[in-house]
Amino acid sequence: DEELGSDLGSVTQAIKGLLAAARDRRDVPVIFTTMAYDASQSDLPVVTRLKTPHSRNMIRGSDRVRLIAELERRDDEALVEKPRASAFFNTNLLSILVSKKIDTVVVTGCSTSGCIRSTCESALDYGFHAIVPEEAVGDRCASAHVANLFDINARYADVLPLAEVLAHLKRDIRDEAA
């Protein structure tokens, strides 16, 4: 069985900074995602099992699909369970964003070459402006990470330095207070 793994400690820290900035605002919803399948695996297609064998261990409710504790998800922050790489595919994410009149999404997490890229493609397809804070995404393969950040920025979303995204979130807060 092929297992995936990588050190995403710095990515987690970057995401925590973004979460703090977003939580300081009333107009920025925080939405988490995870991939999960039924224990029976009846909802796990054969091709997915073949291409991503680790998906067999991504059982709903198991430790493999739980959010990491460091992110400190709050009760009012949605958790979207997704069956594929894109957070939009076969989920209620689009409904959540539309109901909140959101036009821009900040995409973070892993993996840059899979879930991040796929979510950015879908965001563009649905007419959202997607932003990827460069330090808040990671991948198990450094070259795939770099190549996909290049492609994402060229085609689907704006890849920006974390500091720029944080400054924008904080600037809007200061502007609202003035």
Query: Which of 110, 115, 120, 141 is flagged as catalytic?
Result: 115
| Structure tokens belonging to residue 160 | 């920006």
∠ CA 21-26-149, rounded to 5°: 45
Distance of alpha carbon 108 from alpha carbon 4, whole angstroms: 18
Residue 141 annotated to the active site: no
Phi then psi dihedrals of residue 31, to 5 deg: -130, 125
Phi then psi dihedrals of residue 162, to 5 deg: -55, -45
Question: What burial letters (b/e) apply to 118-154, b meaning 16+ CB within 10 Å?
Answer: bbbbbbeeeebebbbbbbbbbbbeeeebeebbebbee
Distances (CA, A) of 154 to 16, 102, 110, 158: 26, 23, 19, 8
| Structure tokens belonging to residue 94 | 């689009």
DSSP three-state, residue 154: helix
Which residues are catalytic, by number?
A: 115
